[in-house]
Amino acid sequence: MNKILIVDDLHPYFKKEANRIGYICDDFPSITLPEVENIIGNYVGLAIRTKFQVNESLLDKATQLKFIARAGAGMDNIDLKTALNHNIICINAPEANRDAVGEHTIGMLLGLMNKLRQADNQIREGIWDREGNRGYELKGKTVGIIGYGFMGSAFAEKLASFGVNILAYDKYKTTWHSSPSVQKVDLATIFHQTDILSIHIPLTTETKGWISQPFLNEFKKPFFFINTSRGEIVDTPSVLQKINEGRIIGAALDVLEIEKFPQLYQQIWYQQLIENKSVLLSPHVAGWTFESYQKISEVLAQKLKNLKI
């Protein structure tokens, strides 16, 4: 009973290292949730990305399960409370894709501030409009980062050379490594000084829907908004309304509340979102590079070696 069930597309490194330390891996990236429910009782380990929710119903069937390896950073698709009650250890790999997220966030910010998507589309349509595509410079701006873990700190590191003022707020961070380029502040300071806001927090019952009208109303000047964390943290209609009011200059969103078609088509705000020239979108790929694909499996494999089960 030293078997791991792999239900998602993981880099082969994880399976190779798991085999080397004595595990037998059943690698079924196309397996369905009902199929998993039928066989999960035969495994001590489950390796997953975001394929489905590892909920109480599934965990109740996982009678031999000792650990869950989440190939990525966020743990919101795992019922951590039930896992704890079942003495199941949960590991993830936020160290592995922090650089990917940091770089993608920088890219989205520069693209947004310089209207690169709009300019590219116009030229392809035979429009040469220099004034309409006049951009903003990063230097001298104040960037507010909410969430200063692996992702927020990686973004800050990459921002430092742009000559910006970096403010960071993290309600739950207990250890804070001082940095000459980053100032630890309270939320009120974020509201008062921010020119650019970037979100890097996990999805929890506390953060779900947190970025909504009351939150956005607190900002004292217009700002650029970036979300590369989780879509359900942000109320998209509220962001669109603030863009229309001129309170948000532009929004870069790698994640949305709904991330699958055709369900996304059915959202009443979807058409407004895709027609808005002040919005830049990407399909939840900030942490998903060719390099991070392998690094995630490397980090998970190392943590698997260190597990005491």
Known catalytic residues? 230, 259, 284
Burial level of 169, CB count in 10 A (0-12/13-18/19+)?
A: buried
Which one-letter amino acid corresponds to residue 29? P
Phi, psi of 172 (to 5 degrees): -110, 0
DSSP string over 185-245: --HHHHHHH-SEEEE-----TTTTT-BSHHHHTT-SS-EEEEE-S-GGGB-HHHHHHHHHH
Side-chain-facing half-sphere of 227: CA atoms under 13 Å: 23
| Residue 94 preceded by cis peptide, ω within 30 | no
Rounded Cα distance between 252 and 226, Å, is 5
Residue of 146, 151, 136 whose CA lies nearest to 166: 146
CB atoms within 10 A of CB 307: 13
CB of 66 closer than 8 Å to CB of 37: no
Spatial separation of the C-alpha atoms in residues 25 and 222, rounded to whole Å: 52
